Structures are given as C-alpha cells and as structure tokens.
Amino acid sequence: MLGCGVVGSEVAARLQSRAEALEERIGAPLVLTAVVVRDPDKERPGVDASVLTTDAEAAIDGADIVIELMGGIEPAKTLITRALAQGSSVVTANKALLAAAYGELMAAADDSEVRLEHEAAVAGAIPIIRPVGDSLAGDRIDRIMGIVNGTTNYILDQMDSQGWDFDAALASAQELGYAEADPTADIGGHDAAAKAAILSSLAFHAPVTIDDVHVEGITGITAEMVETAKDQGFVIKLLAVCERVTDSPAGAGLSARVYPALLPRTHPLASVHGAFNAVFVEAEAAGSLMFYGQGAGGAPTASAVLGDVVSVARRKVLGGRGQYERPFHPERRVLPISAITTRYHITLDVVDRPGVLAAVSEVFADEGASIELMRQTIGEVDDEGIQHAKLVLATHENTDAALSRTVDRLGDLDVVRAVASVIRAEGQ
C-alpha cells in the first residue's frame, strides 16, 4: 500500500483485523506485505509497524495488488505505471491523477491484462463506478448529474436551511472538519470537476480530462440568491453534469461541467442534505437511477477501497482477463459551455419606471432568447430618490452562448442598475 494517511490507516487496520472474513470471500489470504510512508517512526494505531517502509519501488515489486492512497500526480503516476507494467492490479482513490490521465492508465492496465479499480475516487463509499462500468454496460448512459462534493453541499444546505451567509456556512464546515483550512479545491469546484472528468470518461468511453471540464464554484452564491431561489421553489446545489449532446451549434459531442444550479425542490437531488453525496444517472433502458450516501471520510472511503481489493483479489484467484474491455473514442469531443442548451434565472436591479419591461424584452428578442417567467417586486428608494425594483426572469431553453450575450446586453441598459445574479437551472 502506498500512503498511510486517514484513509490508508483505515484500510491497513481493516485488512489486518478482518483478515479471516476477507479470506473467506476471496478464497485466499490477503497479506499486507508493505505500507509505504514518509516517516516510518510515526505512530499509526492498528497498523503493524513491521510492514512500514520508505522504499516504494521495492514494496511494489512482486506484489499481486498495489493500493495507491498517496494522492497527487507524482510520484503516484510513476509508481502506478510501474505496478501495472509488472502485472500488478492497482486500486486507487486518486481522483486528481485519474482526472488527468484516465485513458493512459486504463490503456496500461489493458496492455498488462490487469485491473485498475477506482471506486473510491468518486463519491467515497457510494457505489457508482462499478454500476456505471458493469451493471449498465449493456445500456446507453445519456446523462449523469451529481452532488459529488460534500463540503459545498454542506455549505449550500446550511445557507438554505439556516439562512446563513456564505462565510458563516464555510466557517461551520471548517469547524466540523468538512472543509480544509484552504478550501479552494472544494468551493472553487475543482474537486467536483475531477470527478466529473472520471465519470465522463467511464460513461462515454472518451478520454475526458479535468481540463475539458467547465468549472464554476460557489463563492459567488449569496444569502439573497438562496432566498430568492427558495421563494421560487428551488434549491441551489453545486452540480457535476456529464452528458451526451446530439444537437448543438458546435455539432454532436460530450459536455462535462460543474456549476451551482437551481434544482426544483421536487427533484431527488434536492433532498440531499449536509455533507452527503448523490449521483443521478439517466440511461436509455434503465431510466433514472440515484445513488446516495456518504461521499467522504476515512471509513466510507476505506469501504470502497476494500471493495475494489476484494474484487481484484477474487479475479486473481479465479484467473481470467483482468481489465474491462473499454475501447476509448478520442473523436468524441467535449463541447464548450457555450454550445450546451440550458436555462438561466436572472435577477436584475432595475429602475421602477415605465418602459423597463419593454427594454428588457427587446434585448431578449434581439438575441433570439425568450422569457418563460417574469416576476417583479418593489425595492428600495436609493440616495438619489429613485425607486428601484427587483426583476426576476426565468428563460426558456437556449444555448449558453445566446443567454450569456443576453445577460451582457441587459447589464448595459440604462434602466438596469445591476445584474444581481445569474444562475442556471437543471432538473426541469
């Protein structure tokens, strides 16, 4: 095993404490031969100190299974590549590495006819990788939409249920250990983007990397936006969306994107609270499926890792070809965000006077966009004695490019004091 942090310590302890039960399930004993760490003198309760080492290459050589829990790109990539080349199956929870080199590593596993399992890399203990790769292998997956970052879901849930502002909700997440001292990867959407890349690669058999994923975080979400969404029957969630696009201005392709979006409160994902994760899959024959559970933490992630270990160990005992046969289709390109079809909810601070609605409607007409719903409420009188109003607009479906241009032009109108918020809507 490479790495022995929170998850690694849990895995090592369970491998040793549950050795008899695991042997019964596999048909052969699992022997933990080495645990590669930086500091072998550090105390690790539940982990046999005699297997600790700093020599990663020596630990890998000859191993039937290598569990990689180091994280990061290097040296993890080099070590995994070495393990696969020598015929070792690999179990990893390394979302950053898979998001950068999924196709390359899968091809290496295929060449050596071994397994590269990664259930723990997306949504912790929630079984999503194996259902998508195996259970739905005979189906066509059209869309995956998920809450795959527990930190941001906790923050947005507290803003919605408790009325907190963003900073208060983030501080609570850090106090509870859901958010790191530097939460940028979570609140910036980058953690979710890595998972979106992995899910897209797996579901659509295409080499999607994190660089292909459009990413927007939640730092711009305000208490007022959350309250406005609630008034309209929506909740705001940070969503990872992966889908096949058959018709767009840029042609057919794939879309992989992460952004905060409005969900109707009747949608199954709207009921996902706290730091939990859920993934909603839409398949041609199976229809809609949802997978829900704890998305992070030492014990849940260790459960997913051990599930993969048992799977590859059984295959080792029984024999047969190792890796899935997953032909990748590099011609399946990922489309830019501008080409996707979406809906916007736009909140404008406008001057309350005749002609405002006509001016706004003219901009929509010019851009070929249309308004589905318009709601106006009287606002405050400013220091100049001018009466303001809040204008909330829900659009019909259109390309993101057309709606983005519409918003830009609305902001230039004399009657619009500010574009207070713009947020996409999903699940309708």
Active-site entry in 77, 195, 237, 390: 195
Do the annotations mark residue 124 as ligand-binding? Answer: no
Q: Is 363 annotated as a binding residue?
A: no
Tell whether 242 is in a known binding site: no
Spatial distance between the Cα atoms of 68 and 274, rounded to a whole number of angstroms:
29
The b/e string for 119-128 (b: 16+ C-beta within 10 A; e otherwise) is bbbbbbbbbb
117 is in an annotated binding site: no
Active site residue 195: yes
For residue 6, say whether it is annotated as part of any ligand binding site: yes
Round to whole Å and give the CA distance between 1 and 93: 12
Q: Residue 411: beta bridge partners?
A: none
5 marked ligand binding residue = yes
- List the one residue out of 286, 336, 305 whose CA is nearest residue 132: 286
**For the purposes of burial, counting CB atoms within 10 Å of the CB of 167, is it exposed (0-12), middle (13-18) or buried (19 or more)?**
exposed
Residue 2 annotated as binding site: yes
The verdict on whether residue 380 carries a ligand-binding annotation is no
Cα of 386 vs its chain's centroid, Å:
44
Binding site members for NADPH: 95
Binding site members for L-homoserine: 180
Binding site members for NADP(+): 2-9
Which are the catalytic amino acids?
Answer: 195
Binding site members: 2-9, 95, 180
